[in-house]
Chains A and B, each alone.
Chain A
Amino acid sequence: DGGITQSPKYLFRKEGQNVTLSCEQNLNHDAMYWYRQDPGQGLRLIYYSQIVNDFQKGDIAEGYSVSREKKESFPLTVTSAQKNPTAFYLCASSPGLAAYEQYFGPGTRLTVT
């Protein structure tokens, strides 16, 4: 089955620790995205990538970092510099960058205390 996997589903961390969220897709899509969703709010774009070894900052990139070493993988690191890291994180992919439907993974709910 083709799709996007995110792991783990729930993640708990202590304040001050960096944490990496996994995102893998086997859809052979070129573009991948990371979004953050807070309760009662829409999705906000953190980073996106069109090709391997290239990525762009989205609306709220501060306190986050990404890498794109392989086409199928786009991990997100939430650093200790992110002031309010507790949120629901969604990864998505699309065949290309512009005007393509995005396929979303099941999400990771991160809680930092």
Chain B
Amino acid sequence: QQPVQSPQAVILREGEDAVINCSSSKALYSVHWYRQKHGEAPVFLMILLKGGEQKGHDKISASFNEKKQQSSLYLTASQLSYSGTYFCGTEISGGDMRFGAGTRLTVKP
């Protein structure tokens, strides 16, 4: 079953912050976050694993609540380059990835 992302869309001014949420009804092995710009392939941002380990970029942070099967992606001091659609991917078992419908983020000058 696909995870649920919220909000569906958000519009920011440069320098503002945003939080994108991802919720699953199944126990998760890991949570992945990707960003996709229009017409391009998704690009990896971060992985959060059971037990608290994280792998990803320094300027992006995220959290993973294992008990609630929820993850949040925190985008601070947004830049124009942050615009795109953000997807969370939930890994139920090795390789079995389910993606949310995406959150469209628009950053305006």
Chain A residues within CB distance 8 Å of chain B: 31, 33, 35, 40-45, 48, 50, 56, 58-59, 90, 97-107
Contact = CB atoms under 8 A, between A and B. Distances in A.
Interface in B13-42: 29-30, 32, 34, 40-42
Interface residues of B, number: 27
B50 to A, nearest CB: 9
Nearest to B101: A42
A101 B42 CA distance: 11
A45 B96 contact: yes
Contacts of A59: 98
Given A99-B49, A101-B47, 14 more contacts: A41-B101, A43-B87, A44-B2, A48-B95, A50-B94, A50-B95, A58-B97, A90-B42, A98-B29, A98-B94, A99-B29, A99-B30, A105-B41, A107-B41
